[in-house]
Structure 1
Amino acid sequence: MAYRITADRLRGHWQPLVDLALGAATALLFVLSGTVVSAPLAVAQLLPLVWRRRFPAAVLIVVGCATAAHTTLGMARAVGFFPATIALYTAATHRSPVIRWVLCPAVGLVMAAASAVRHGPVEGLLMAVVTVTVAWLAGVERSEHLRQRAEADRQRAEAEHLRLERRIADQATAAAEDRERLARRVHDTLAHTVTVMLLQTEALKATTPLGDAARDRLDVVLRAGRDALTEVRAALADADEPDPATRLAALLKTLGAAGLRLAAHPPDLRDVLAPPVLAVADRLLGEAATNALRHDGPGTLLRISTEHGAERLILRITSEPPSPPRPRAGRVTGGFGLLSLAEDLTRYGGTLVHGPRAPAGWQIEASFPLRVGNAVAGR
């Protein structure tokens, strides 16, 4: 494990280590070979190599000019050209065509001219041209290799992206097939069952002598059944979901026709709750009203009140069964609807508590985070 950690650290810092070793070896060669004729020019040849990766063009100009000047003073060619070839190789790997194809040859020609003046056309010019050309072409080839590797990496990344998109598309297709199978099952069960209920209710209304009150109740049942069937078919067709407030108003109208009484109209919370939280509030009102009628029967009174704080809105809903209250078969607890709403409200930073109230009925208290900038002082 320790060996692996050390190897990873060296792999991440190999370039500075190589530069340090190369600089130290070059400086040692300069000292031991007696290459140095002018100490300032030797420093100008060696020291800029530290920054050759960050500023390759500037380093090449400084080192090349220092090498040409040092050559005219009698510097040995073999070791003396070594810093310049390093700078030339680094600059030739740069992505800029101007640096590769203009600056590098220009600096090489300056050094070759200085060597020709000092050592003649063969020993000076020819040797300098060969040395400079080899270093320059090696850098150009390295640059092309880096470009090809970058292109290969880009193509691999694109291929991986395409594979990811294909996998996502396959998953979406599988999910769509699952939804289609579920839709067929729902249509074959729920939609058919609701249709049979509607037909039987229509037959009962047409063949049985009923009073006005009974006919009104059958009309409520038929209207609720048709609305449910419409919503099922819309859901299966992937139609747009209706506005929660509109659906709540229609639901309360249907429940009112079935015998639920409202102490007052539901509060308008559009200005104080954000749209996602408002949708949860509308669903909660619909669930509470439905539960009140289902558990306490016609004649149940539903009271809805709100209390505003600095950051939260408290919504209280209570049901008061008719007197005498409708007998309950066993213990009644919060169903799946309230549990689901409690989870949704918790996701938005709210809370929901519910339970029976004395002597009869049900109570719900929900806390909603207020829309930013619309908090109302407590009242």
Structure 2
Amino acid sequence: MDETPGPRRRSVRDWIVDVAMVVLAFLFGLTALVDPPHEPTPPPNSTVAVTVELAVLVAGCAALWWRRRWPLQVAGVLMAASAVFVMVGGAMLVALFSLAVHRPPRTSLPVFGVGVLAAWANISIHPDQNAPDLVMFLLSVAMMAALTGWGISVRHRRELVDSLRERAVHAEGEARLRAERVQHQVRESIAREIHDVLGHRLSMLSVHAGALEYRPDASEDEVRRSAQVIRESAHQALQDLREVIGVLRAPVGELPQPTMADLRQLVAEADHVGASVELSEDYEGSVPERTGRAAYRIVQEALTNVRKHAPGSDTRVRVSGEPGGELRVEVANGPSPDPGAEESHPAGSGQGLVGLAERVSLASGRLEHGPTADGGWRLRAWLPWPT
């Protein structure tokens, strides 16, 4: 709630409340005319005194119209007037309540203290012969205390509502950011999966299509074998694409993922492309699903890069490790026997190795890659193998 005064356009509810407060304050002031306090010595100019009281009452009720903009000033003026005039007491009570609503207790409570002194001054100036002064004083203080407490309660309730509304807006913003972050992670995961799955198949298509293009003197058997591999690879790529699209349609976790059991088939398919790919496995026990999937993707991406950058080169795939330690994956290839063959393949974007580094990092592993002394390339990864 704002503590600084400022103009605010009144709503329909504000108009109704303001008019009601002015009318109630005016009627409360008129009750003093029903049974006016009996002075010890009635003044000879009582008519003038009543006229002045009515004028102050009208002015005090009119001042209530600006109590929202200047609650402290209006309450202070009416508090001072209530110390001398009787009829303005109702307007003073409304102003005190409004002050407690629009200003913190550190402001409204001192004004309440001033009101207690004003009430005692009013009773001293206008004693009531029908009731003891102490009773009238305590009654006045009780009314002011009740309205001040009520106003503070209304203020705290409004602050609570504003705080809950702000928290709801903040929580909604955080939920939206979390949803966007999760959506971004899902998109990255799908993009990585598409790259890993289709990149392997399409690289095989590229190898054989390039061979047909750059070897017009190929024999009929070689052309037929290349066409068969192209057809099978295209069919398998279509199947893989359907599985990847299934990620978007199926609930999380329902799509089957490759494991270490599929590694031999992957190497066998790469070996049929035309280059020699040797697989060496030196481990015992069952590799955890997450670790095996990461190892499969590492070998898959490495073989894809070999076909792109060193087609026809001899490649060695070595997987070793033990439970409770690490699963070591190494893919090394020599230089391409045909240096000009790489020109028939489009240059890669480098995102494959970036994606592998991210995948290995998510698996809490390490990744190294770089050229070898003989002009080839080696990629090594270490993945944790929990018992």
The answer, yes or no, to whether TM exceeds 0.5 is no
Query: Scaled by the length of structure 1, what TM-score is found?
Result: 0.45
Which structure's relative contact order is higher, taking Cα pairs within 8 Å and 6+ residues apart? 2
Query: Scaled by the length of structure 2, what TM-score is found?
Result: 0.44
